[in-house]
Chain A
């Protein structure tokens, strides 16, 4: 049986502003090692909210979240930051690269923060990731000199730097044209198939979702199909 990477047990989430409303209703599912999962649904169905809870950045929820078999409840902010650093890689709709740094440094930052390897080793790892994604030539450019597709690929390289057990994406292709969307999708697919990387991608791009291994479809804060 495959190793369970992420498990969500009966997660409920309420927004109290402006009026009390439940945005997630009893969400339960689990993701195994090596799965390529997409979460789809209409705008406002709670899929992004779910992702941010799963990412440990949002801690205001009911229910249980287990990452790598570890319960996330009751952990301090610093401990959660450490888990995000070590076990989760993020790709957002917008690239969120730091313009003050070179591409290489952007990729290296989470690795340097982890302090598992020396700076030289982290740099080596970062170059490997960039090569894997075919953008090693951009390594020394500043982040703001890149095109949108390139930036998103750098963001993927950054997500990969610490060999996370899961990569989470919030509409990673939402801001890209078709060609770049395809490139990004192919990278995800390749990561999953060649490196057995687990991926959880929130998207409203049906074409993207259909090509993943598993689709979790949400509506009004509930999972209606998985």
Chain B
């Protein structure tokens, strides 16, 4: 009886391993294809085989030097644009998220609950709703097609994403605040000297999330930039490479560009997951 039960379990586990391996291959193979073909030398767009026959770095070199291409496709510039936008919106978003979550978590004031509810409800509204309207607003201000507009868009609503870091701040014992208050510290000093140094995982998590945002966003950048190719970010830039006018020259460079963007972002994302788990499960302090 026990033996057959064990056998059954072994067979079941074996089947599961088999399934997981197949699924794993399905999920990972597009990326393997992407990386392999970004080093491909032969062919323009499609080739009739899955594994490249000649390997080269030329696609990457062309991507960054722009040799033999159209002047309007300027990947280094797009990369720099995205980087600048990411840095600025990261700073502004992180600061506002931390400010809002600290205020809601540690300070007690009359309209706190109301503010939090309004914030939560606003945060739940689908983003594209405001996107279209922000487009009108920026158009009237003459800001469409500029990087400033992008920074504004990525960071303006950041304060609404306060829940996760508020949850983290909530786990830090209030006794610490009280002790500091007795020693004569103001709320401002408590924030900077006590709470922030203890909140490394959640600060890193916030920084990484807001830094990754501009690299992965597509729709907002598309709406704001329109045809202003100079100020494109990598996302809409790479899509431009697949446009009918460019795809013959740029298909392989598109693959190379995708790798260049995807690798660092993937690593950052995995790092962020780690900090998220650390922040959420470990809680603020022990002892």
Whether both chains belong to one complex is answered with no
- Chain B residues at the A interface, C-beta cutoff of 8 Å: none
- Chain A residues at the B interface, C-beta cutoff of 8 Å: none
